[in-house]
Structure 1
Amino acid sequence: MVRIPKSHPRYWSLLYREKIIESMEEGITAKAGLIAHGRGEAFDYLIGERTIEPAERAMKVAVAKLLLAEYPVISVNGNVAALVPRETVELAKAVNAKLEVNLFYRTEERVRKIAALLKEHGAGEVLGLNPTKKIPGLESERGKVDENGIWKADVVLVPLEDGDRTEALVRMGKFVITVDLNPLSRSARMAHVTIVDNIVRAYPRMIELAREMRDYDRKELEKIVKEYDNERTLSDVLRHIRDRLTRLAEEGIWRRERLVT
């Protein structure tokens, strides 16, 4: 990995880019994952590279639903494995969820490498190495799922997800949660709960919330989920972007915020 001086004003952004590149070279992330990461980074600039209130709201609902689930599963792709392997394992443990590797550009070698990486960070069982089921209506490799994982799940967390699989999982009757920096994507619009935030911020916060909320009684968790409106959340994200860009245009970028480069 290229050494990035911590004094660099874009240190964290460049560090995560390098992690994606390094993971691609190691055969964990697909080449297309670099494009996806760049697209997400662009939307992160628009929201201000911080966790905004609509994302915090969605995270609380997502954690509540995962804690209520009878059989929750967290899906893992190459970018997730590259950016938050330890946090993915910790989150799964915090909400008692299964982990399943699921890839659009699937090769058995990539699946094995991602599973091994998760185990290096403390995972026990990792599903997805030998999928025996196929999601109806989904022709891509992402349709292959484990009968003891996503196929059986009632709640599925699918971060950095393709819209077609999100839609297919919803059709199957799954409750779908996604982490997606693009509030306009099909995944964001099709999921029941959309966390518009960078996964490197979202997962650590979700782990904190899970530890805080695990002692909530069932009625309190159910109330949190029942009162949630995902369309309102996405609209609030768009309003945040609109208002922030309007403010920057009126007051000047250099006066209020360092220009993103």
Structure 2
Amino acid sequence: MSDEIEIPESHPRYQSLLTRHRIEAGVEKGITSKQGLIAQGRGEAFDYLIGERTTESAEQAERVAAAHLLLADSPVLSVNGNVAALVPGEIVELAKATGAEIEVNLFNRTEERMEAIAEHLREHGAEEVKGLTADGRIPGLDHERAKVDADGIGNADVVLVPLEDGDRAEALGEMDKTELVIDLNPMSRSAQVASVPIVDNVIRAVPNMTDHARDLAAEPNSTLEGIIEEFDPEAALSAAEDAIRSGDME
């Protein structure tokens, strides 16, 4: 991002300070809501408890998520204000690696924010950004996140839902969509209802998924299906909770 502040990578809180600044810059740019600041702080607390690292179970979940995206007929990466502020270029790279569409979906939705986020993603390499048409709806939701593009999330078979989004994740499950959820809180509703819960920081999870997608791109469908079949979401959540409760940050 062009508005990055200078933080030496040797600083022990480098990644934390960098992500905080990106969220602040997102608010100033009009792509992140003020509520996003609170959400960032909540996630950062959980990240600290797992040692600000990608655990073995999270790495496995990211590989499984990549396999799902590669096998999908109509995969979509859902983007909110925090995701747009934190990993815009990384989301674009994941979309390119998996053939997924990118769609903006917001709780605090205004046309100005939608346009600002779409333009921000285009500045980071996105060729097409869905979400602005909003000619479809997710049944069972009474707020703005119900609005989706009919040929985007509405038609998707696999949806990446980064960051906490419990009610929408639950509603997407009711539509028989495969949900890949990135959430640092393994006890949140979004993680609990996910087909693939990824308990990791989005700034690590998205690039990791891209790396796995590139590694798996030439594999036959049978190999990808085997990776998915072996995954146990309950075990992944249990491992994440154990990591948090143990306080082992080594």
Larger Rg: 1
Alpha-carbon RMSD: 1.3
Matching of residue 41 in structure 1 with residue 40 in structure 2: no
State the SS of the aligned residue for 1:176.
Answer: strand
Determine the structure 2 residue equivalent to 1:93: 96
Partners in 1 of 2:14 and 2:6 — Cα distance?
Answer: 7
Determine the structure 1 residue equivalent to 2:26: 23
Matching of residue 12 in structure 1 with residue 15 in structure 2: yes
Contact 2:62 2:209 survives alignment (8 Å): yes
Determine the structure 2 residue equivalent to 1:232: 235
Contact 2:46 2:244 survives alignment (8 Å): no
Contact 2:4 2:22 survives alignment (8 Å): no
C-alpha deviations, 1:141-174, integer Å up to 9, x for none?
0000000100000000010131000000000110
TM-score, reference length from structure 1: 0.92
Alignment counterpart, residue 205 of structure 1, candidates 208, 220, 225:
208
Determine the structure 2 residue equivalent to 1:182: 185
**Matched ranges for 1:84-233 at <5 A:** 84-233=87-236
Deviation at 1:3, TM superposition (A): 4.1
State the SS of the aligned residue for 1:151.
Answer: helix
Partners in 2 of 1:12 and 1:75 — Cα distance?
Answer: 23
Partners in 1 of 2:139 and 2:15 — Cα distance?
Answer: 40
TM-score, reference length from structure 2: 0.96
State the SS of the aligned residue for 1:104.
Answer: coil
Partners in 2 of 1:120 and 1:27 — Cα distance?
Answer: 15
Contact 1:2 1:18 survives alignment (8 Å): yes
Partners in 2 of 1:225 and 1:77 — Cα distance?
Answer: 26
Contact 2:159 2:178 survives alignment (8 Å): yes
Contact 1:4 1:11 survives alignment (8 Å): no
Q: Which 4+ runs in 1 deviate beyond 3 A?
A: 1-5
Deviation at 1:26, TM superposition (A): 1.1
C-alpha deviations, 1:95-136, integer Å up to 9, x for none?
000010000000001000111111111111110011011111
Deviation at 1:242, TM superposition (A): 2.4
Partners in 1 of 2:21 and 2:62 — Cα distance?
Answer: 27
Deviation at 1:4, TM superposition (A): 4.8
Alignment counterpart, residue 32 of structure 1, candidates 31, 35, 44:
35
State the SS of the aligned residue for 1:181.
Answer: coil
Corresponding pairs, count: 247
Partners in 2 of 1:89 and 1:2 — Cα distance?
Answer: 19
Percent identity, aligned pairs only?
A: 59
State the SS of the aligned residue for 2:77.
Answer: strand
Matching of residue 61 in structure 1 with residue 64 in structure 2: yes
Deviation at 1:203, TM superposition (A): 1.0
Determine the structure 1 residue equivalent to 2:79: 76
